[in-house]
A and B are shown apart, each in its own frame.
Chain A
Amino acid sequence: MSSFLTRNRLILLAYLGMVVLLLVTALFSPGFLSESNLRSTLVLAAFVGIVALGQTFVIIGGGIDLSIPWVLNSAAILMTLLCAGQDLPLFWVAPLILVGGAAIGLINGVGVAIFGVPPIIMTLAANVILQGLILVYTGGSPTPSAPELIKFLSVGRLGPVPVILLIWAVLALVASLLLSKAAFGRHLYALGSSATVAEFSGVPTARTIILTYASSGLSAALAGMLLTGYSGQAYLGMGDSYLFTSIAAVAIGGASILGGSGHYLGSIAGALVLTILTGLLPALNLSSGALLVVYGAVILVTVSLGSETFASLWGLVFKNKKQKTEGD
């Protein structure tokens, strides 16, 4: 475990940052640390965290998924339309939508891995196409409200524990096992470090790339359905803010945006940091414009703390401490 932490110092830093941010927030708005508020913060973080799951895989593999907003949005709208407020259809609609999300990701992955389309172009195009299709399909008219069952999954509780946190915990466990204990993880880190070396070493590069995008489509579709349960209905544009937050959560969590490093445990910390931040900012009594400026700036600073330059500064700090203890 200690070797895991030394190799993943940035993840530790992300959690440290989260704690500091939590304390600062409590200073500005004392009610923030109340049980109910912490719980609702965790629930909000879960949506970011679930979206960031697939994005973590994609970024570690050296790609990026910009199709998340409208995969999420399409999943939300299709679910409400197909279920029409009833619970029963959900048993075939939910699997269908998850498969559909994964299929969009599969197409992204095939475009990137087989046809060599740059990830930014491929996924951005998928995003725009989905947006257009949904607008055509719905004609912009409002959709029915979410089924009760999905509301239970998003805002319901089992005892004191929100159901969505259980879902998130299971997903986090699966993702961590895949990254740390499965062949898939080894392939993924190798791919992100150098696609050519991975190819020359017999890593199934195309398959790995396609899997990452498929998992990203899957997690975005799941998040879309759960988010609909949270807000009670689906609406156009509900996924837009999740593009930036999914990437920021991964980056704050210590992954290199160029691929080859990072872990979902870090992205969890990233999702928490981002959510606490959105809780802190209103307490500062700033205008909504100023809020966005601060939000963006804080993310910028947090991510750059993990950059090469800062890493060497950290190295100096740690090294001096070590020498001191050796001298004692």
Chain B
Amino acid sequence: MDLIEVSGLTKRYGGIVALSEAQFSAWAGEVHALVGENGAGKSTFIQILSGAVHPDEGKLQLEGQPYSPINPDAAQALGVAAVFQELSLIPDLAVEQNIWFRREPRTALLTVDGKALRRKTLELFDKYRFPPLDPARELRRLTLAERQLVEIAKGLAKDPRILILDEATSALPAKEAEWLLALTRQIAAEGRLVIFISHRMGEVRAIADRLTIFRNGSTVASHVATAVSDDEIVTQMIGRPLVRLYPERKATATERIALKVDDLRSGSRLTGASFELREGEVLGVGGLQGHGQRELFQSLFGASRATGSIELWGKPTQIANPRHALIGRDGIALVPEDRPGQGLLLTKSVRENLTLSVIRRFTDKGFLSRGREAALVKEMVDFLRIKAGTPEQLAGTLSGGNQQKVIFGKMLLTEARVLLLYDPTRGVDVGTKGEIFQLMRDLAARGYAILFYSSDLPELVHVPDRVLVLRSGRVAATLGAGRVSEEAILRAAVLDEAA
């Protein structure tokens, strides 16, 4: 019998239909993947399953009983727990306090039992063979990947019958991602249901028993994983055959040096990076997580203090802060790592977000010109094909891919010609990923210089012209055309140079 069965599920936000007549069924003991582009309705669907959002119409049944949780607590009481894409942890609490938040073991005096808390956390880590993670560490001091692990632990701590993983692997380095994939199989083997959302086809292939495809707010089809090809899945996801994910790589780099970095140091992680980025070039940045990539991008953007020399278009520059970095055609722009935290004002409109960095471009004697602002907004909405009802739609209600496009638009409007892209495809669907890669190549052809970090190895192999591999805060290797491969990047990231 089906553990969960859904039919006719519909959810509207104002005039926008987020989910329309969705059908779904899954049984205990399987890993069931949900695939589809951003904005296809997957997120709304699992928010409804987890009790965070109430549907307008539709029938949900859990083990044959009507299921309509009024909030996430009610869903958890019935054994449904979700690990969400946008992390919902409390920065000031320790790892263990976050995992057991509001469900802490108590002493006789009703205070939190610290020993039991530690014991339960270690048991949990042990049971699921978690990667090393210090239970006492304050959450704010963890990397994004480590926070994702905490989020997963929090979900598992509820011992759910249905575990929903929303893009849980996208923030994880390769080894941890593999661990999580194995874990989903283990959980399914225990007779539980794992609902798994991922934009990485390889992962879906590796673990899913069945998959359900979403497109434009409805469910298109469900398949047994072994009975359907990648091409069929992608075709059903985007409604047309995908020509290819990675764009053609035409060398457009000129001799002109856009960015020259010498012995850049910041904090304890970036310990002296030197490299050159040319006009028209896409330069990849790889390496194991925590080897200075974040510090490199932030210090080039003026968001962290750094020492060393930076030359932009041949001129030595001190970048004091992001405002300074963004000024003019000789500026330097960043698409940051943390979309809601650094990139986007979720409670403001698409328009206000797009033009936030370029207010002076439509200001006359101190007054804003709405007409000129609208023209800039339209230019970017059209150029990037941002799917929003109107420019007044709140940025927080857009899908992940469209949110990322808004951030790109905001940075492109600044006219800065050196772009820093920090993992720009994280949590972005296949279709939008392809668009972003194509955009990068197009911009390069127009003379932009692009520094591109990705946590996804195949992207680094297929998109940039050259790849810098960082190890211990320095450039360990520069892999030119023809020498880039996943193996070469990993080798340089891990091994000392063998002569």
Are B347 and A196 in contact, with the CB atoms below 8 A?
A: no
**Chain B residues near A221 (CB-CB < 8 A):** none
Chain A residues 1 to 17 lying within 8 A of chain B, measured CB to CB, are 3, 7
Are B368 and A181 in contact, with the CB atoms below 8 A?
A: yes
Q: Does B341 contact A (CB under 8 A)?
A: yes
Known: A189-B352, A193-B345. A182 touches B367 (CB 8 A): yes
Q: Does B292 contact A (CB under 8 A)?
A: no
SS class, residues of chain A in contact with chain B: helix
| Most chain B CB within a 10 A radius of its CB, from A7, A196, A261 | A196
Known: A190-B348, A197-B345. A204 touches B323 (CB 8 A): yes
- Which one of B70-78, B99-107, B353-361, B485-493 contacts A? B353-361
**Chain B residues near A187 (CB-CB < 8 A):** 359
Are A202 and B352 in contact, with the CB atoms below 8 A?
A: no
**Chain A residues near B343 (CB-CB < 8 A):** 197, 200
Are B341 and A186 in contact, with the CB atoms below 8 A?
A: no
Residue of B nearest to A204 (CB): B323
What CA separation (Å) do A190 and B187 show in the bound complex?
44
**What's the minimum C-beta distance from A116 to chain B, rounded to whole angstroms?**
15
**What's the minimum C-beta distance from A255 to chain B, rounded to whole angstroms?**
13
Are B414 and A202 in contact, with the CB atoms below 8 A?
A: yes
| Size of A's binding interface in residues, CB under 8 A | 23
Are A182 and B366 in contact, with the CB atoms below 8 A?
A: yes
Of the candidates A189, A196, A202, which one forms a contact with B357 in the assembled complex, judged by CB atoms under 8 Å apart?
A202
Of the candidates B323, B344, B346, which one forms a contact with A203 in the assembled complex, judged by CB atoms under 8 Å apart?
B323
**Chain A residues near B355 (CB-CB < 8 A):** 186
Are A193 and B366 in contact, with the CB atoms below 8 A?
A: no
What CA separation (Å) do A197 and B359 show in the bound complex?
15
- Encoded as 1 (CB less than 8 Å from any A CB) or 0, chain B from 330 to 372 comes to 0000101000011111111000100111011001001110000
**What's the minimum C-beta distance from A156 to chain B, rounded to whole angstroms?**
32
Q: Does A317 contact B (CB under 8 A)?
A: no
Residue of B nearest to A184 (CB): B366
**Chain A residues near B366 (CB-CB < 8 A):** 182-183
Are B344 and A197 in contact, with the CB atoms below 8 A?
A: yes
Are A199 and B321 in contact, with the CB atoms below 8 A?
A: yes
Residue of A nearest to B414 (CB): A202
B interface residues with partner A (beta carbon < 8 Å) = 301, 303, 321-323, 325-327, 334, 336, 341-348, 352, 355-357, 359-360, 363, 366-368, 392, 410, 414
Q: Could you list 19 further interchain pairs (A-B, Cβ under 8 angstroms) beyond the known A190-B356, A196-B342, A202-B357?
A: A3-B392, A182-B363, A182-B366, A183-B359, A183-B366, A190-B345, A193-B346, A194-B345, A197-B341, A199-B321, A201-B357, A202-B325, A202-B326, A202-B327, A203-B323, A203-B356, A204-B323, A260-B347, A260-B348
A interface residues with partner B (beta carbon < 8 Å) = 3, 7, 177, 181-183, 186-187, 189-190, 193-194, 196-204, 260-261
22 pairs from A and B in contact (CB 8 Å cutoff) = A3-B392, A7-B392, A182-B366, A182-B368, A183-B359, A183-B360, A183-B363, A186-B355, A189-B348, A193-B346, A193-B347, A193-B348, A194-B341, A196-B342, A199-B303, A201-B326, A201-B356, A201-B357, A201-B410, A202-B327, A202-B356, A260-B347
